[in-house]
Structure 1
Amino acid sequence: MPTKEITNGLPSVLGAQVRGDGGMVVSDELAKELNVGPLAVDRNQGIATAHGTAKVDGTYDYPADGRRAGFAYGLLSPVPAGGGAFDECWVRSWPPSPEMRMLIRLSLIPGAGEPNADPPVVSQLNTRKGTEFDGAARFEQRVTRFGAMAALAVGMVLGYFSVRSRRLELASAKHSGVTAATQRLQVGIEHAVVALMAWILAMPMIIYAARSAGLPDLPVMVVLGTKPVLVAAPAFIIGAIAGAATIREKQLFRYFSNR
């Protein structure tokens, strides 16, 4: 079976599940064929070879999703990094950095290759979805980029019509002597309390959704999820005050007739 010598850093690049006790790292496909069970069951499980039993330290998944072939069925044998030169140098970099293509060339040993050998190649392991990733452009083109603007519009509309639905009550209050400024202050305070309660209820759901996504940038996800709520809350209050400003005492009879 194909065996490749590696340094101790490659299993982490491949996302392998290892105990760290030392030993071979086996692909999932080969582990199934050799009946290598879960590592937590037997810490002494191994693979019989011509030179004895090779201890298995972990397994790694290598699906056929467009990545370079050659590792889906094989063994990886860790060796000391200073034991000699290697044919390849692997780097996990996210997000992809253009400078990485230059930095990885520092791993080359001048004059170590054969005279007629092919020149070194810097390539991506999986090019199925392209060789470049512009995170900033993708972020600006996301579907939810208009979420804050939509929340602003929805908040103002809800605030406006929530007050307009009480136009008979508010017009009657003005007829009883309540000033316009006092009434707008009252409406603003009432809707501020509603907005605060909505914000308190929304925050746990936003944090839960961000944590459920399993992404490393949890604070960023929470901030992005909070922006529509923070925009909608003042818009709701402003819409309510604007709605209160449109209610006239002289239209009390019409409000009463259309109730």
Structure 2
Amino acid sequence: MWPQAEPVAAHLRSTLISDGDAQTRPQLSQLNSRLGQSFPGERLFVERITEFAAPIAGLAGVVIGFAMVRMRRLELASARHSGVTPATQTLILLGEALVPALVSVLVTAATVMLVTGLPGTLDPAALRGLSARVCLTLVPALLLGVITGALTTREKHLFRYFKART
């Protein structure tokens, strides 16, 4: 068991049968003397495969938010040409992006709660915290991408967008 605790050692000693003489005393020692001298938990946690999950989620959020707006640049430039202000358009785009983002966060939270509630899950609070970090990085990054996409869409490029459409 790691970390070693004295109450556990006392419980182990209580299971011994006292048939031996006073000279032979039981000794508690490590079964494998080569491995397990120290617990490298912190190092393993820092070097885990999901170490960069939150920054990657942030980058993905910015790219997805930007792409969501840029795919509609002709429509957005046309709306601006019709008199919609950039601030109003940005607020509308943020609302449109926030709804699916919040739905995905709720679905993710429910899935994480379900999976971490299964028997045998080690440290469910840490897993929930890590998934919350990813969600709390993704949503603002998505909104930042939407704002960036809205700010880079120009009414004066309406005809360029029209010519470039597929």
TM-score (norm 2): 0.80
Structure 2 vs 1, CA of residues 162 and 122 (structure 1 numbering), >3 Å: closer, same or farther?
Answer: same
Is 1:187 matched up with 2:93? Answer: yes
Residue 225 of structure 1 is matched in structure 2 by 131
Are residues 241 and 138 of structure 1, via their aligned partners in 2, closer, same or farther at CA, if it must alter by over 3 Å?
same
Shift of 1:224: 1.4
Provide closer, same or farther for how the CA distance between residues 213 and 150 of structure 1 changes in structure 2, counting only shifts above 3 A: farther
Q: Deviations over 1:18-58 (max 9, x none)?
A: xxxxxxxxxxxxxxxxxxxxxxxxxxxxxxxxxxxxxxxxx
For 1:64-143, what aligned pairs fall within 5 Å after superposition? 93-94=1-2, 96-97=3-4, 100=5, 114=23, 122-127=28-33, 129-143=35-49
In 2: Cα distance, 1:258 partner to 1:129 partner: 63
Deviation beyond 6 Å, 4+ runs, structure 1: none
Taking the TM superposition and a 5 Å limit, the aligned residue runs for 1:126-205 are 126-127=32-33, 129-205=35-111
Structure 1 position 204, deviation (Å): 1.7
Q: Which residue of 1 aligns with 2:17?
A: none
Alpha-carbon separation, structure 1, partners of 2:47 and 2:106 = 30
Q: 1:235 aligns with which of 141, 145, 153?
A: 141
Distance 1:128 1:200 in 2: 46
Q: CA deviation at 1:236?
A: 0.8
Q: Which has the higher helix share?
A: 2
Q: By how many angstroms is 1:165 displaced? A: 0.1
Instruction: String of CA shifts for 1:56-85, please: whole Å, max 9, x gaps.
Output: xxxxxxxxxxxxxxxxxxxxxxxxxxxxxx
The offset of 1:128, in angstroms, is 6.6
CA RMSD in angstroms comes to 2.6
- 1:200 CA drift (Å): 1.4
CA-CA distance at 1:212 after TM superposition: 4.1
2:103 maps to amino acid: M
Question: What's the secondary structure of 1:144's corresponding residue?
Answer: coil
Shift of 1:257: 0.8
SS in 1 for 2:36: coil
CA contact (8 A) 1:206 1:226 kept: no
Could you list the runs of 5+ residues in structure 2 that have no partner in the other structure?
14-20
**Paired residue total:** 155
In structure 1, C-alpha distance between the alignment counterparts of 2:35 and 2:113, rounded to whole Å:
30
Q: In the alignment, is residue 245 of structure 1 matched against residue 151 of structure 2?
A: yes
Residue 235 of structure 1 deviates from its aligned partner by: 0.7
Q: Higher RCO, 1 or 2 (CA under 8 Å, sep at least 6)?
A: 2
1:193 and 1:203 mapped to 2: Cα distance? 15
- The verdict on how the C-alpha distance between 1:130 and 1:189 changes in structure 2, with shifts beyond 3 A counting, is same
